[in-house]
């Protein structure tokens, strides 16, 4: 039986983009560019699973309006126990993610030109200097980091009723709540921009690659850096 050949496939010429994406990123293979190597994608989804676990076990404790969520985990008592551990797991995973991504998330000079209104208008006036991550993405990363630290510390205070004084606990309730509201709003925006708003983006977080056209449109400087093309 002869090997099945898909017309136009790059298999004959070498490894496919997805194979390359297991170990390396910022490489061009045919029409595709590897954006997120496997390790980056795995840690992203580990963080995501723990985040949503903690979110959905926390929301029924936050308000009885979301009480129905508790039944998916086995009741409110289970949520009270699970929420804390999922929160710790989220924090641990986010710490690993921070180490892996930190270098790419440092703000640089070109980020000063980022105009959030222009960006959200999806106008054709593209900033040619946007690198691998735009300032909004970097801001989201740092928001998650700072909020993550606050929600972890306040969560620890709320975890053990008897070990902390009530003033500290009541302040922790407020901060934990503010962090949750911020996280909820941020995750809605994150999911929306990563899926419906910018087609092609979700693929980069599942299979690791984007098309040249996608890279040229959303991250022109990064595109030039990886392809060696000029402006």
Partner 1 sequence: MALQGLEIRRSSASLRGGGTGLRKMATVAKYIDTSTCIGCKACEVACQEWNDLPNAQTSGPQHGTYQTLPTMTANFWNLIKFREVETQDHGLQWLMRKDQCMHCDEPGCLEACPAPGAIVQYVNGIVDVDPEKCIGCGLCETGCPFDVPRYAQATNKMAKCTLCVDRVSVGLEPACIKACPTGCLQFGDKTALLEVAKHRVEQLHGDGFAQASYYDPQGVGGTGVITVLKHGDHPEWYGLPKDPTVPTTVSVWKRVLHPIGFVAMAAAIFGAIGHFMAFGPKKPKDSSRETGGEV
Tell me how far, at minimum, the Cβ of 7 lies from partner 1, in Å: 14
Closest to partner 1 by CB, 98 vs 217, is: 217
Only one residue has tokens 């302040």, namely 171
d(CA 35, CA 42): 13
Whichever of 212 and 221 has its CB closer to partner 1, that residue is: 212
Residues 57, 59: Cα–Cα separation, whole Å? 6
Looking at beta carbons only, is 44 or 212 nearer to partner 1? 212
Catalytic residue among 36, 176, 190, 218: 190
DSSP 54-97: HHHHHHHHH-GGGHHHHTTTTSHHHHHHHHHHHHHHHHHHHHHH
Between the alpha carbon of residue 92 and those of residues 43, 59, 166, the distances in Å are 11, 21, 27
The single residue listed with the structure tokens 């991550």 is: 133
Q: What is the rounded distance in angstroms from the CA atom of residue 46 to the CA atom of residue 59?
A: 20
Q: How far is the CB of 85 from partner 1 (least distance, A)?
A: 14
190 assigned to active site: yes
Distance CA 187, CA 179 (A): 12
Helix 135-159 vs helix 166-194: angle between axes, to the nearest 10 degrees? 150
* Residue 28 three-state SS: strand
Nearer to partner 1, 2 or 63 (CB): 63
Least separation in angstroms between CB 181 and partner 1: 5
- Residues of this chain that interact with partner 1 (CB under 8 A) are 61-65, 67, 76-77, 79-80, 120-122, 158, 160-162, 166, 169-171, 173-174, 177-178, 180-181, 184-185, 188-189, 192, 195-203, 211-214, 216-218
Least distance to partner 1, CB of residue 165, Å: 10
Minimum distance from CB of 132 to partner 1 (Å)?
Answer: 17
C-beta closer to partner 1: residue 61 or 92: 61
Any idea which residues carry the catalytic annotation? Answer: 190
């Amino acid at each position: 039986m002869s090997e099945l050949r898909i017309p136009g496939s790059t298999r004959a010429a070498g490894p496919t983009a997805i194979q390359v994406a297991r170990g390396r990123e910022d490489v061009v293979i045919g029409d595709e560019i590897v954006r997120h190597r496997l390790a980056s994608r795995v840690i992203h989804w580990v963080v995501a699973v723990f985040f949503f676990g903690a979110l959905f076990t926390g929301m029924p404790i936050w308000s009885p309006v979301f009480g129905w969520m508790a039944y998916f985990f086995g009741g409110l008592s289970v949520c009270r126990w699970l929420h804390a551990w999922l929160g710790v797991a989220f924090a641990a995973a986010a710490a690993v993610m921070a180490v892996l991504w930190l270098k790419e998330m440092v703000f640089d000079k070109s980020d000063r030109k980022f105009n959030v209104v222009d960006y959200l208008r999806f106008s054709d006036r593209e900033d040619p200097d946007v690198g691998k991550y735009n300032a909004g993405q970097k801001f989201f990363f740092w928001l998650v980091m700072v909020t993550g630290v606050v929600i972890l510390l306040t969560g620890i205070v709320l975890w053990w009723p008897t070990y902390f004084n009530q003033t500290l606990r009541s302040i922790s309730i407020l901060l934990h709540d503010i962090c949750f509201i911020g996280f909820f709003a941020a995750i809605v925006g994150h999911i929306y921009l990563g899926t419906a708003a910018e087609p092609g983006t979700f693929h980069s977080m599942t299979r690791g690659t984007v098309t040249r056209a996608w890279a040229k449109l959303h991250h022109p400087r990064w595109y030039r850096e990886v392809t060696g093309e000029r402006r």
